[in-house]
Amino acid sequence: MGIQPAELAEPTRDRTPTRPALHQLRRDRVAMVCLGIVALFVLVAVLAPLITRVFGVQLDAGNPARDLDAYNYPAFGPPYDGFTWRAPLGISPNQADDNLAAWLYGARTSLGVAAAATLVSTLIGVATGLVAGWSGGWFDRFLSFVTDVFLSVPFLLVALALAPVLVSRFGADPERLQLWQLVSLVSVLSLFGWMPLARLIRAEVRHLREEEFVLAARAVGIRPGRILRRELLPNLAAPIIVSVSLTLPAFVAAEAGLAYLGLGVSGLPSWGRTIDQAVPFFSTYPLYLFAPVLGVLVLVVALNLLGDAVRDALDPRTRHGAVS
């Protein structure tokens, strides 16, 4: 009897390291704490409108005539007055915006942009790596050349060049400008973030395509597209998950850095934009700067530690060592 496609899928399930990896992650206290921190930040980002209503604060609801003194500093709360529930983190100088509301919505902007860019870059990297590793020959060399070209272009220069173009093109329409700035920010991060994953997937596919279960699938006439989806892609779950866990914090930091340089999305609150506005007031109003900096720091550290734990859990050598 010939080998049936259903039988060919059995080795794939046996090779998948998900179950022992999850077992090790549950035993890793640092990973669980970091997972809880990341989950908390996600909840804060998703529930930002509800949390602002609970605290009675609103974004862009300041009244400069009432909330700022003669020197454009907060008329109540820090830095000159004590803590108040009217503005738990104070209000921003000059703009009179509530800093807690800006922090909550800044978390939504940073996580949203980073998640979207991570998703797009992962899809591009996986698709490019699969096709390059499977095809071989001149097409593989062509895709490798394209990857090297993207690796050689500094994304910061592209962002710096793109920002004034968008402002000059859509500056008269704030809504369209905000939309295209958001699209361009996600696009720049995605187009310059897929290459390491593509290289990794290509190398894995070149190795897996010589395995017995792939050769058997080709022998019975299964089409290449089905082999890539059903046989190879499940065996690539580990490097994909590791790549996502390490790319997401990098994009969170990159979004904050670009916003700090004035290359973020205008009209949307952002931790990086708040940092840019708070730097001149550091000597007299340090809380204005510390709140967004701590947000970026805690989230990026938690994501990086969680990514390291995921990588170690999915590494058979590390996993076996931990179990023994």
Average pLDDT along the chain: 82
How many Å apart are CA 125 and CA 251, to the nearest integer? 15
Question: How do residues 106-129 score in pLDDT, each as one tens digit?
Answer: 899 889 999 999 999 999 999 999
Domain 28-323 has CATH 3.40.50.150: no
What burial class does residue 237 get, using C-beta atoms within 10 Å of its C-beta: 0-12 exposed, 13-18 middle, 19+ buried? middle
What burial class does residue 168 get, using C-beta atoms within 10 Å of its C-beta: 0-12 exposed, 13-18 middle, 19+ buried? exposed
Query: How far is the CA of 188 from the CAs of 246, 252, 272, 302, in angstroms?
Result: 18, 13, 17, 24
pLDDT at 73 exceeding the cut of 50: yes
Query: How far is the CA of 223 from the CAs of 140, 215, 237, in angstroms?
Result: 19, 12, 21
What pLDDT, on the 0 to 100 scale, is given for residue 44? 92
What pLDDT, on the 0 to 100 scale, is given for residue 70? 66
Question: How do residues 169-207 score in pLDDT, each as one tens digit?
Answer: 776 677 777 788 888 888 888 988 899 999 999 988 888
> Is the model more confident about 246 or about 22?
246
> Is the model more confident about 168 or about 96?
96
Domain boundaries, the chain: 28-323
What pLDDT, on the 0 to 100 scale, is given for residue 32? 92
Rounded to an integer, the average pLDDT of 22-30 is: 82
> Is the model more confident about 67 or about 315?
67
What pLDDT, on the 0 to 100 scale, is given for residue 14? 44
pLDDT band at 261 (very low <50, low <70, confident <90, very high): confident
> Is the model more confident about 128 or about 311?
128
Question: How do residues 215-240 score in pLDDT, each as one tens digit?
Answer: 887 788 778 788 888 888 888 888 88
Question: How do residues 131-178 score in pLDDT, each as one tens digit?
Answer: 988 887 888 899 999 999 988 888 888 887 877 777 777 766 777 777
Rounded to an integer, the average pLDDT of 245-262 is: 85
How many other C-beta atoms lie within 10 A of the C-beta of residue 209?
18
How many Å apart are CA 191 and CA 188, to the nearest integer? 5
The tokens for 207 are 């190795």
What pLDDT, on the 0 to 100 scale, is given for residue 11? 45
pTM of the predicted protein model? 0.81
